[in-house]
Amino acid sequence: MKLFVNCIFNFIPNNPFTKPFSLSLKLNSLIVLIRGVIVINYKRFDQTIVLRLDRGEKVKESIQAVCEKENVTLATVNGIGGLDSASIGIYNFDTSDYKINEFNEFLELTSLLGNVTQMDGEYYGHFHAIVGNSKGDAFAGDLDEAVIGAAGEIFIHIINGTVERSVDDETGLNVLNFDK
């Protein structure tokens, strides 16, 4: 069994007592990425990465951490799971911002769909979610963030290449730009 460790220290300004870090371990092709105090379990199968998210893990933060670790620049993403909370937004064209709805109850994440692209050469994740509560009410929109309450299953389907985004002057949205 071969074990390798890769530590990256990220210093927090004005915080002399803690130094959060990322640590990755590889044991027989199961990869565990430790980011701060969160452990992200995932496994890569050629052009697909499968994540298992556990209670307390943030969905978007976890996807970003794995994509950055695996150098993913273009992908589609889908997933399901149980959430403790979620923030979902709807874009308002009149004000050019999002109305964020906060849900602080157990929710089923019945559909997570999105993509990974680049903006100014950096990771850019764009995700939509449909969640449901115990009454059967469903809510949908742009996923601001969600916290796993039971388990999450996320699939990242890698596409060879890179697509950049740029701000659309008319809508204010970060849209795909094939000219970059």
pLDDT in tens, the chain (180 residues): 233 333 333 333 444 444 444 455 554 445 556 655 556 899 999 999 999 999 999 999 999 999 999 999 999 999 999 999 999 999 998 888 899 999 999 999 999 999 999 999 999 999 999 999 999 999 999 999 999 999 999 999 999 999 999 999 998 899 999 997
Give pLDDT, residue 8.
34
Q: What is the DSSP letter of 140?
A: E
Residue type, 129: A
Asked if 115 and 124 touch (Cβ cutoff 8 Å), the reply is no
Q: Domains, the chain, ranges and CATH?
A: 43-177 (3.30.1330.80)
- Strand residue runs (E) in the chain: 5-9, 21-27, 30-35, 38-45, 48-54, 75-92, 97-103, 107-119, 122-132, 138-158, 164-167, 174-177
pTM of the model: 0.81
Give pLDDT, residue 77.
99
Give pLDDT, residue 96.
84
Give pLDDT, residue 113.
99
Max alpha carbon distance in the chain (Å)?
A: 58
Give pLDDT, residue 39.
67
